[in-house]
């Protein structure tokens, strides 16, 4: 999926927060990342999805520190992470993969692993709070 389509889905979601549940495919997991996930965690997936409720949650939580275009990095973060881990906790009875990447500061992407249907569902995204310089610093 092109970023324009994802940006349109984000805009549509934020403009109509009461819309029925909807999800879209936003990309594919590249071969390198697929192999890493299978080798490290024994999980096999090839598609990346996101839904409207995850977008609303990620963007509207001020403590997530997201900027308007940070969700557009999601596929890139999954396909070239600085770090990938399997959470000790499941989410909605699904395994959870945690992807982290430094893109002007660290961004974390949490995904539900749906091996039966061969996809990752992005369900949460946040950015580490940027370090702020004290205005009185010398």
Contact predicate 71/6, CB 8 Å = yes
Please report how many Cα atoms fall inside a 13 Å half-sphere around the Cα of residue 126, on the Cβ side. 12
Asked if residue 137 belongs to a domain, the reply is: no
Residue 87 pLDDT class (50, 70, 90 cuts): very high
The boundaries of the domain holding residue 56 are 3-127
Asked if residue 117 belongs to a domain, the reply is: yes
Sign of CA dihedral 115, 14, 103, 133: negative
What confidence tens digit (pLDDT) does each residue in 23-36 have? 999 999 999 999 99
Q: What is the pTM of this model?
A: 0.89
Asked if residue 138 belongs to a domain, the reply is: no
How many structural domains are present in the chain?
Answer: 1
27 phi, psi to nearest 5 deg: 170, -175
What confidence tens digit (pLDDT) does each residue in 36-84 have? 999 999 999 999 999 999 999 999 999 999 987 999 999 999 999 999 9
Give the integer Cα–Cα distance in Å for 104 and 131: 12
Contact predicate 97/37, CB 8 Å = yes
Whose tokens are 């990752």? That residue is 120
What confidence tens digit (pLDDT) does each residue in 100-116 have? 999 999 999 999 999 99
Asked if residue 133 belongs to a domain, the reply is: no
């Amino acid at each position: 999926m092109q970023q324009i389509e994802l940006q349109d889905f984000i805009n549509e979601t934020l403009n109509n927060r009461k819309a029925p549940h909807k999800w879209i495919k936003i990309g594919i997991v590249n071969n390198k990342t697929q192999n890493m996930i299978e080798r490290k965690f024994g999980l096999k997936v090839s598609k990346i999805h996101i839904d409207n409720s995850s977008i609303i949650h990620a963007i509207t939580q001020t403590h997530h520190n997201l900027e308007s275009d940070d969700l557009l990095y999601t596929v890139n973060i999954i396909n070239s992470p600085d770090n990938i881990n399997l959470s000790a906790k499941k989410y909605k009875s699904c395994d959870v993969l945690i992807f982290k990447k430094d893109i002007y500061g660290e961004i974390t992407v949490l995904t539900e692993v749906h091996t039966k249907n061969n996809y990752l569902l992005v369900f949460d995204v946040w950015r580490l709070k940027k370090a702020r310089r004290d205005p009185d610093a010398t």
